[in-house]
Amino acid sequence: MRKIVAGNWKMNMNYHEAAKLLDEIIISRSSKPDDVQLIIAPPAIYLSEFSSALRDLENISLAAQNVYHSDNGAYTGEISTSMLSSLGINYCIVGHSERRTLFKETDTDVNLKVKSLLKDGIQPIICIGELLHERENETHFQVIEKQILAALEGLSEAESAKVLWAYEPVWAIGTGKTASAEQAQEMHAFIRKILSENGFNTQTPILYGGSCKPGNAKEIFGGKDVNGGLIGGASLKANDFLQIANSF
């Protein structure tokens, strides 16, 4: 299974700071080829320039943080999957908990985005994760199962093979509270079980996200169903991000 470490920069950094961080990552990567694939998800406004900068680098790819599901048209402020595809963007994060909570994105929206991305040849990184009270009242497995099945509604096994998953327990995002390595592995194995039981591809990468840092990445990535990480805060410093990528 391929190993992936993805940095979700969220809405951080002005243009100069973002370009500097990308340069630092490129410099340290080009001198050290690695079997770990890096994915950077910068704010959308930087994607065009970054895609030119990364054109010749195979082990660093770009992801959008969000997309709209319709074909081009009268949707002021939105970005379409075909626009991403025309820039050669390979991945797009979908259904991040911040979008579900702050921007009221529903499971149906996530499903429409996944379908539109696949139509345009972009691999979705689908984020799923339970809230703190759902973990506390032990409904977390049901919540995750529902999110998986809703995201893949109407998709074939072959289409599901193009999807990447990010298990991001919402209570661990930006809180400094990480899921234990056991909790992460347990949920990743459960995700594969649900995919298998429903006839979907089980060999797609499942990343862990939520307060993943250089100090805890190795332990978390030790789980046999943990194929990497989706990193927020720690992806904003080149050293931390690269240290996490070297944690397998």
Ligand X SMILES: O=C(CO)COP(=O)(O)O
Query: Which residues face 94 on adjacent strands?
Result: 126
Residues between 192 and 211 with contacts to ligand X, criterion CB under 6 A: 209-211
Q: Which of 69, 96, 140, 188 is catalytic?
A: 96
**How many of the chain's residues bind ligand X (CB under 6 A)?**
14
DSSP assignment, residue 176?
S
| Beta carbons of 204 and 183 less than 8 angstroms apart | no
Q: Which residue's CB is nearer to ligand X, number 209 or number 223?
A: 209
Residue with tokens 């470490």: 5
Q: Is 209 annotated as a binding residue?
A: no
Of 47, 94, 195, 231, the one binding ligand X by CB under 6 A: 231
Q: Write the interaction track for ligand X spanning residues 163-192; mark x where CB under 6 A is met and - where it is not.
A: -----x----xx------------------
168 catalytic? Reply is: yes
Backbone angles phi, psi at 68, to 5 degrees: -105, 150
Helix (H) or strand (E) holding 206: strand 206-208
Q: Which of 50, 49, 35, 38 is nearest to 1 (CA)?
A: 35
Catalytic positions? 96, 168
The footprint of ligand X (CB under 6 A) covers 8, 96, 168, 173-174, 209-212, 230-234
Residue set of the binding site for substrate: 8-10, 174, 211, 232-233
